[in-house]
């Protein structure tokens, strides 16, 4: 009789453990889904900023048609990559590279670099990139924890029984990750972008001795002598 109670206890523990493990899998999958939604939001924000950025640069460098077309093409491909996180990440590399070329063009136009609209768009893009990297790290951390449970015992039994498969990481290309958000040195806000001399000061005026004095009146004779 004792063995029957032991068997019942083992079955109850297994069922309770299975339910807990199953519910945790569901919770983790929902967390991954929410984390991906954050990435998707930041990606869409970046896609929305790019057309205004391109139009601003066009106002100063309309002849850089090839660069504008490359940015538009890369943006379209990235925005259309709505499949897996891996395919989305693969489409981000060309877009970041194209944006780098666009900002390189901006470096050749001091008036553009001082344009307040361009500066604001660049700041917004940089902030978006920072939030995107934070969202990517959060997403990948949740995927890593979930995938470990899919492969570990005894949770692997529940994963196999209910077909919980490993999730994909959102891994950006190494070169893209090292480059980070596109950055441009705009110099002093509102300035022309010119580089001051190494000493930091403007060229001083010539000494007073070098300036010829205007012709004056003859020196009057000394009345005393």
pLDDT in tens, 49-88: 999 999 999 999 888 899 999 999 999 999 888 778 888 8
Asked if residue 183 lies in contact with residue 96, where contact means CB atoms within 8 angstroms, the answer is no
Asked if residue 169 lies in contact with residue 39, where contact means CB atoms within 8 angstroms, the answer is no
Rounded to whole angstroms, how far apart are CA atoms 218 and 211? 20
Rounded to whole angstroms, how far apart are CA atoms 26 and 172? 26
pLDDT at 138: 96
Rounded to whole angstroms, how far apart are CA atoms 184 and 107? 7
Asked if omega into 154 is within 30° of 0 (cis), the reply is: yes
**Domain-embedded: residue 128:** yes
Crossing angle between the packed helical segments 116-151 and 2-58, to the nearest 10 degrees: 160
% the chain with pLDDT above 90: 52
pLDDT in tens, 112-156: 888 999 999 989 999 999 999 999 999 999 999 999 999 999 999
Tokens coding 57: 């640069």
**Domain-embedded: residue 220:** no
Instruction: Give the domain range for residue 37.
Output: 2-186
**Domain-embedded: residue 98:** yes
pLDDT at 171: 85
pLDDT in tens, 95-106: 988 998 999 998
Q: Which residue has the higher pLDDT, 203 or 4?
A: 4
Q: Which pLDDT band holds residue 174 (cuts at 50, 70, 90)?
A: low
Largest CA distance in the chain: 147
**Domain-embedded: residue 196:** no
DSSP string across 49-61: HHHHHHHHHHTT-
- The domain spanning residue 13 has which CATH number? 1.20.1440.20
Rounded to whole angstroms, how far apart are CA atoms 208 and 175? 57
Burial of 52 (0-12, 13-18, 19+ CB in 10 A): middle
- Residues of 154-180 as b/e, b for ≥16 C-beta within 10 angstroms? ebeebbeeeebeebbebebeeebeebe
Count up the domains in the chain and report the number.
1
**Domain-embedded: residue 12:** yes
Tokens coding 82: 């709505």
pLDDT at 193: 39
pLDDT at 200: 38
Q: Which whole number is the average pLDDT over 164-187?
A: 64
Q: Which residue has the higher pLDDT, 113 or 190?
A: 113
pLDDT at 184: 42
**Domain-embedded: residue 215:** no
Chain CA centroid to CA 27, Å:
29
**How many other C-beta atoms can be found within 10 angstroms of the C-beta atom of residue 125?**
21
**Domain-embedded: residue 161:** yes
Q: Over 50: is that where the pLDDT of 3 sits? A: yes
Rounded to whole angstroms, how far apart are CA atoms 193 and 90? 35
Among 76-85, 151-160, 177-186, 196-205, whose mean pLDDT is lowest?
196-205
């Amino acid at each position: 009789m004792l063995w029957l109670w032991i068997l019942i206890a083992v079955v109850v523990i297994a069922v309770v453990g299975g339910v807990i493990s199953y519910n945790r899998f569901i919770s983790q999958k929902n967390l991954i889904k929410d984390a991906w939604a954050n990435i998707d939001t930041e990606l869409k924000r970046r896609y929305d900023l790019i057309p205004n950025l391109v139009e601003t640069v066009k106002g100063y460098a309309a002849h850089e048609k090839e660069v504008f077309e490359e940015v538009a093409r890369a943006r379209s491909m990235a925005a259309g990559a709505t499949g897996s996180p891996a395919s989305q990440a693969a489409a981000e590399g060309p877009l970041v590279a194209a944006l780098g070329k666009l900002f390189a063009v901006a470096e050749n136009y001091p008036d553009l670099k001082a344009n307040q609209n361009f500066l604001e768009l660049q700041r917004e893009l940089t902030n978006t990139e920072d939030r995107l990297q934070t969202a990517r790290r959060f997403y990948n951390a949740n995927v890593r924890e979930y995938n470990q449970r899919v492969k570990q015992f005894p949770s692997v039994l529940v994963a196999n029984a209910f077909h919980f498969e490993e999730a994909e990481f959102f891994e950006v290309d190494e070169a893209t990750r090292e480059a980070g958000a596109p950055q441009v040195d705009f110099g002093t806000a509102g300035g022309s972008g010119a580089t001051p001399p190494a000493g930091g000061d403007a060229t001083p005026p010539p000494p007073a001795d070098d300036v010829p004095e205007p012709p004056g009146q003859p020196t009057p004779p000394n009345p005393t002598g």
